[in-house]
Structure 1
Amino acid sequence: MHPNPLANLAFPSEPIVFVDLETTGGTFGVDRITEIGIVEVGPSGVSQWSSLVNPQKPIPAFIQQLTGITDAMVRDAPTFEQLASGLLERMNGRLFIAHNAHFDHGFLKDEFKRTGLRFAPDVLCTVQLSRAVYPAESRHGLDALVARHALVPSARHRALADADLLWQFWQHLHRAHAPDVMRAHLDRVTRRFRLAEHIDEDTIEQIVAGCGVYMFYGENDAPLYAGRSVRLRQRVRSHLVGPRRSAKDLRLAALVRRLEWKATGGEIGALLAEAQWIASARPAHNRAPKSRSGDVRGAPWPYSGAIAIEERDAASGQRAWHVIDNWCYLGTASALAQAGALCSGARASAFELSTYRILSERLARGLAVTPLVSGRLAAAN
């Protein structure tokens, strides 16, 4: 696992970087960076670096007026692609600190992605930090911090000058508050991406928001952990990113190299798919299910053949049909007409204790089912 860069706080044992950008506007994927300023702080002291960046597009007039950066100033400046390799080396492995960090981190991540480089540092937003330390205050913009904490700007809306203001704010916090208090605030607001180095935010954003199951894999593609959730994307992110993770999640995240996920169309589908995945893959970090005296292995199947159970995902509104035969979960179809194709005599002969546990009481209480006969709807015969 990575060392904690916050261990020595104001001058940490691992370098940290305060970063600010100027851009042609505020839209990711459309606007481009015009200036980068970095203040690096570590055990050897403080260093500064900045560069104008040719955005390869005109700078709007109101942005030129705000920042003082004109088209003429950036015409002969290096492009981001020309700076990318050295810039990544300068920031790689450092805690990334910025004001409204989603903006600066997002722009840099997009620019690095254009050049084929991955940028996924741990991120600390000083807006969130200010709110955590001073919850009674209503304003946390950079101008408010300058006024409230007597910070000294050398300029405004220029990248290096604003990055230096963040360094000044950082020093103020550590002078004004006890180390254990600051450590607690910093741990709470830091978004940790680096503990799962092989999975970035782009990967997590591809996961469905609603019901589903997921599997983490480690070295040599060994199954580590399977889980389920009615908010799948949020659940996976909570394992790998964010400040409020358990010690178990921290240990697990350090081992993860790959993940798989499946949408299940509902909570029952997630229960069935998770149980089957755990039984077949036996992930190292899942507890083995305990047998119960009330379970009856080989309990009689109360239907003449396969059935389909309909569910609707509350998050997406999409419907799904889960196919079961002889207490064996055969899969989920997105349309009832496709459910029959999941029927297989060979698979249906295998009794699954987990499926029996999940469904026996629900079926006894009158869960709505659609019988399937010979791979077709029973009503069609």
Structure 2
Amino acid sequence: MHADLPAQLALPPAPLVFVDLETTGGTFGVDRITEIGIVEAGPQGVSQWTSLVNPQKPIPAFVQQLTGIDDAMVRNAPTFEELAADLLDRMNGRLFVAHNAHFDHGFLKGEFKRIGMRFVPDVLCTVQLSRAVYPAETRHGLDALVERHALVPSARHRALADADLLWQFWQHLHRAHAPELVRAHVERVMRRFQLAAHIDEETIERIPAGCGVYVFYGDDDAPLYVGRSVRLRQRVRSHLTGPRRSAKDLRLAALVRRVEWRATGGEIGALLAEAQLTAAVRPALNRAPKSRPGDARGAPWLHAGAIAIEERDAATGERAFHVIDRWQYLGTVAALSDALALPASANPASFDLATYRILAERLARGLAFTPLTLDAPAHAAF
């Protein structure tokens, strides 16, 4: 069924699919989909699609009572695998809109993954959108939206009927508010799962939450940018998505093809690793360090040999030891006993200004460290 798109709707750049599912229960990986309903809205107009789905397992009695979908209705329905190719084509490249979108997106993502297909649309949750637009309201469930905004349900707890309520809510927002306001709220609550080139949300979720460094690479695997953060995953995501991106971030997102990262066990480790990586790979978009008053090239090393600086990552609790010798950062290890696997000493002729800048003042202020010997690390009391 097709209809013309109402005028003056502030659609995002991608067309929209309003999606609702009925399932055998609420547990990902255990329960299965019994019905899918989709309302598609875009420049070509509005259309609807729905199908029962054979879950290949019994539907619990309380779910049958809630949805009206029983075992007999789905017995001869197509399985998800039989629907998957057409369904993915129907939703691919469109903004996925659902109420409590974590549920619907999570079920579909799991079903596609089970049969070896990748499903990474950008996602907009209408619960979060309602909270953003109407912060004074306390209830944002679908029944509350129906009551508050005079939406017209054709049924409840059936997939297409509930998807249509989301489409009605979307239209209400554009009748009741300026397009610029709606766009701003949509941008604020939207979750971008396809972030840049081949970097998607699954990649981002593998990045540690705590301190670390990252490298963005572009075409031909050329290093573009080295950065650090005490919230590594959040920082990488912020480069690639969000309404507050800088011009530099917008340019970076257009160029990035892949990202590498390394946990550093703390903020000092992130500073040291960032300086080391920047010097090693010479990324195109990092600024060259400027000279500062007080820089002391060749400043004397005031210790008998290498030292280890212990840190704990505030976000993860992980412990790390950063090994330094003669103002050179030799690496980070998880235990003092592992320090002997690093070079026994630095090149006496070398002086790393970046390491000096990071550590000289901290050590002068009494930053605790453990002296190391060639034979074994000495466990000095801090």
Instruction: Give TM class, smaller chain.
Output: over 0.9
Q: Is the 8 A contact 2:17 2:95 kept in 1?
A: yes
| Structure 1 match to 2:4 | none
What are the equivalent positions in structure 2 for 1:179-198 lying under 5 Å apart?
A: 179-198=179-198
CA deviation vs aligned residue, 1:322-348 (integer Å, no higher than 9, x gap): 011111111100011001211244667
CA 356–91 in structure 1, closer or farther in 2 if over 3 Å, else same: same
| Structure 2 match to 1:134 | 134
| Structure 2 match to 1:365 | 365
CA 82–190 in structure 1, closer or farther in 2 if over 3 Å, else same: same
CA distance in 2, matches of 1:318, 1:348: 32
SS at match of 2:39: strand
Aligned AA (1:248): K
The structural deviation recorded for 1:133 is: 1.3
Aligned AA (2:80): F
Please, which moves more after superposition, 327-336 or 177-186?
177-186
Q: Is the 8 A contact 1:19 1:98 kept in 2?
A: yes
Q: Is the 8 A contact 1:199 1:257 kept in 2?
A: yes
Identity in percent: 79
| Structure 2 match to 1:276 | 276
CA distance in 1, matches of 2:331, 2:13: 51
CA 334–11 in structure 1, closer or farther in 2 if over 3 Å, else same: closer
| Structure 2 match to 1:63 | 63
| Structure 1 match to 2:318 | 318
Aligned AA (1:169): F
Aligned AA (1:79): T
| Structure 2 match to 1:4 | none
Q: Is the 8 A contact 1:18 1:163 kept in 2?
A: yes
Please, which moves more after superposition, 69-78 or 237-246?
237-246
What is the aligned residue count?
A: 374
The structural deviation recorded for 1:222 is: 1.4
CA distance in 2, matches of 1:379, 1:94: 58
CA 259–375 in structure 1, closer or farther in 2 if over 3 Å, else same: farther
Please, which moves more after superposition, 238-247 or 309-318?
238-247
Q: Is the 8 A contact 1:295 1:357 kept in 2?
A: yes
SS at match of 1:50: strand
The structural deviation recorded for 1:112 is: 1.4
Give the TM-score taking structure 1 as reference length: 0.92
Q: Is the 8 A contact 1:306 1:371 kept in 2?
A: yes
CA distance in 1, matches of 2:375, 2:263: 23
CA 217–249 in structure 1, closer or farther in 2 if over 3 Å, else same: same
| Structure 1 match to 2:3 | none
CA 375–156 in structure 1, closer or farther in 2 if over 3 Å, else same: farther
Please, which moves more after superposition, 197-206 or 305-314?
197-206
CA distance in 1, matches of 2:378, 2:273: 25
CA deviation vs aligned residue, 1:40-89 (integer Å, no higher than 9, x gap): 01122111111111222222221111111112222222221221111111
What are the equivalent positions in structure 2 for 1:190-269 lying under 5 Å apart?
A: 190-269=190-269
The structural deviation recorded for 1:243 is: 4.4
CA deviation vs aligned residue, 1:122-143 (integer Å, no higher than 9, x gap): 1111111111111111111100
CA 78–184 in structure 1, closer or farther in 2 if over 3 Å, else same: same
CA 18–247 in structure 1, closer or farther in 2 if over 3 Å, else same: farther
SS at match of 1:338: helix
CA distance in 1, matches of 2:151, 2:22: 20
CA 102–61 in structure 1, closer or farther in 2 if over 3 Å, else same: same
| Structure 2 match to 1:354 | 354
Aligned AA (2:166): L
Q: Is the 8 A contact 1:192 1:243 kept in 2?
A: no
CA deviation vs aligned residue, 1:226-279 (integer Å, no higher than 9, x gap): 211112222222223444433432332232221111111111111100111111
| Structure 2 match to 1:302 | 302
Q: Is the 8 A contact 2:9 2:171 kept in 1?
A: no
1:151 partnered with 2:151: yes
| Structure 2 match to 1:3 | none
Q: Is the 8 A contact 2:306 2:345 kept in 1?
A: no
| Structure 1 match to 2:46 | 46
SS at match of 2:199: coil
| Structure 2 match to 1:171 | 171
SS at match of 2:188: helix
CA deviation vs aligned residue, 1:175-205 (integer Å, no higher than 9, x gap): 1112222222222222223342412222222
CA 379–51 in structure 1, closer or farther in 2 if over 3 Å, else same: closer
SS at match of 1:350: coil
Please, which moves more after superposition, 345-354 or 255-264?
345-354
Q: Is the 8 A contact 1:122 1:193 kept in 2?
A: yes
CA distance in 1, matches of 2:137, 2:309: 53
CA 371–181 in structure 1, closer or farther in 2 if over 3 Å, else same: same
Q: Is the 8 A contact 1:325 1:348 kept in 2?
A: no
